[in-house]
Each structure stands twice: as structure tokens, then as C-alpha cells.
Amino acid sequence: EWYPQAAENAQNWANQCTLRHSPPDLRRTDVLCGENLFMSSAPFSWSHVLQAWYNEEKNFKYGTGAKTKGAMVGHYTQMVWHNSYKIGCGLAFCSNTTYSYFYVCQYCPAGNLISSMKTPYKEGEPCGDCPNACEDGLCS
């Protein structure tokens, strides 16, 4: 679900134009939030940015983690993390850098816990453990 507090934090961080991750204390709402970043020299749609992060799925195998040493999977695993159900994003134009567009999304609560990186969600049928209803393959 969209989370205005995380969106405000993400926008505030994007506006800094640092092109690196924010310190954890700037990702705090009622819980600590995780963060994905995307930088580009040209503007992209949010759907393109989100798809770029999700495309890391090709480097990931459930139960194993990264298919090869050093393969990038962290953006993907944060997106699909089992209990990161709130998101807020921000975008800034940073004229003083090569990568002028700085996209930031914060996911709450934070995912990518080292102890569970190989299993960021429960494997099984979509909606298999939903307590109530299911819509588009997600609990509702």
C-alpha cells in the first residue's frame, strides 16, 4: 500500500542528490524501511524503474539466493519481501551530476535481512495463506 510517510522520506532523500543510500535513521517511520535507488541521465517512467529492479529476478533462485557470486538481487528481493507491504517513492532532478534523475523508493518494514535473503517470501500457490480474500494473486 502507498505510505505517505515513506514517500516523504524518499522525496526528501532524493532532493539531496547524493546518489547513494540514505542513512537508516532517515528511513524510519513507525518502523525501519528498506530502500531501492535508480539513477539515470534521462527521465524514465516509474514502471520502467520498477521493472528494472524486478528484472533482477533472473539472477535469483528461491532457496539459493543469487545464482552466481556477486549477482545483483537486492532490489528484487526488497520488492518481493514477505512483510514489506508499504511503499513510498520520490524523484529528483539533480542538475549537477551525470545521472540527473534520482529515483528513491522506501519499503516498510525493511526487507533484505541477511538471515532470510534466500527465502524472501513463502514458496507456494499465490494466495495460499491469505486469511481472507485474494485479488490479482495477492491477499486483500
CATH of the domain at 66: 3.40.33.10
Tell me, what amino acid is at 81?
W
What residue has cell string 542513512?
Answer: 23
DSSP class of residue 32 equals B
Question: Could you say which residues of the chain have pLDDT below 50?
Answer: none
Percent of the chain with pLDDT over 90: 85
pLDDT given for residue 90 in this prediction: 99
Domain that holds residue 63: 4-139
Helix (H) or strand (E) holding 80: helix 74-80
Strands (E), 41-137: 60-61, 65-66, 86-93, 101-108, 134-135
Number of domains the chain is built from: 1
pLDDT given for residue 63 in this prediction: 96
Q: Give residue 98's Cα distance to chain centre.
A: 23
